[in-house]
Amino acid sequence: MINLKFLTTSLIIFAITSSCGQTKEVFEWPNGAQSAMSLTYDDGLPSHINTVGPILEKYNFKATFYPTLSSPSLYDDMDKWKKLAIDGHELGNHTVYHPCQKSGIGMEWVKDYHDLDKYTSEEIAEEISLANTFLFAMDGKKTRTFAYPCSHYFAGGKSYVDFVSSQFLSARGSSGEQNELLKLSDIDLYNVPSWAPNNHGADDLILYIEKIMELKTFSTITFHGIGAEHMTVSKEAHEKMLQFLDSNRDKIWVGTLEEITAYLKSKRMNEGK
C-alpha cells in the first residue's frame, strides 16, 4: 500500500526544489559570452593614437583610453584623439596632471606640485571636474568612467572615492601585480580591478585572459606604451593578444569600461543587489 503521507511530503519537496531551480538565473553577458574584459590605455601617449587605434580598428574592438589631459600628445594631435571617440572608443577621465601620492614606495618621480598627499579634497575634485569639461569639449559626452592615477585615491590623507562615485558611472583601479580575480558579485564598480603589464609578452597577456574566461568573471588590462614610451608592451605581443580575443568572441565580451560596467550595474539593479 502506498504511504500517502510520505508521497505528499515527497511531492512538496520536489515542487520546492524545482521552483528554486527555475528561479535561479545564470548571469549572461551579451551574445552569450560567459566573461568580459576591457582594454584600457593610460596617460595619453602617442602610441595610443598611432599604433593602438589602427590595430583595434583592424580587429574591430572598442577600448577605453584614459589620457592625462596635460599630455603634449593631445595638443600635438588633437584631431587623432577626437577620432578615437568618433570611432566608438571611450575617452575616460584620468585627471589633468596625473597627481599621485609621493609618499608611496617607488614614487620619488612625482613632482612636488603634483603630490596627491599635498592636495586637498577640493583641489582634486576641481581638477577632475576640469578634466570632465575638457573631455566634453572633445567628445560631447557627459557620462564616462574614471581611472585613479597610480591607483591612488587619497588626497591629503582623505579618500576621494565618494566624489568619484557621485560623478562617474564607474572607476578603475590598477596593479602591477596580477591580483586574485574576483567573482562578479564581489567587484566594486568604483575600484574595478585591473592588471598593468610592464614588458610582458603575449603568453602572459593571454594567460591572464584565460583566467578571466575560466572563472567567468570580468577584469581589465591597463596598458601604457605599446611599442614605445613607458611600461611598454611590444606591438607584436599586443596584436597576438587581440588575435586571441578575436578567436574567442563567443566566450569573452570585449567592450569599453563604460559599456561593461553599465551592463553589470543594470543587471545588479534588476536582481535587487
Q: Is residue 19 a part of any domain in this protein?
A: no
Residue type, 35: S
Q: Is residue 107 a part of any domain in this protein?
A: yes
Integer Cα distance of 200 and 187 in angstroms: 25
pLDDT at 34: 94
Number of domains, the chain: 1
Q: Is residue 173 a part of any domain in this protein?
A: yes
Q: Is residue 23 a part of any domain in this protein?
A: no
Integer Cα distance of 259 and 90 in angstroms: 9
pLDDT at 70: 97
Q: Is residue 20 a part of any domain in this protein?
A: no
pLDDT at 270: 78
Range(s) of the domain holding residue 236: 29-270
pLDDT at 25: 60
Q: Is residue 162 a part of any domain in this protein?
A: yes
pLDDT at 21: 46
Integer Cα distance of 211 and 183 in angstroms: 12
Q: Is residue 22 a part of any domain in this protein?
A: no
The answer to whether 25 and 184 are in contact (CB under 8 A) is no
As averages over each run of 10 residues, the pLDDT of the chain (273 residues) reads 48 45 66 95 98 98 98 97 98 98 94 97 98 98 97 97 98 94 95 96 98 96 97 98 97 97 90 62
Q: Is residue 189 a part of any domain in this protein?
A: yes
CATH number, domain containing residue 176: 3.20.20.370
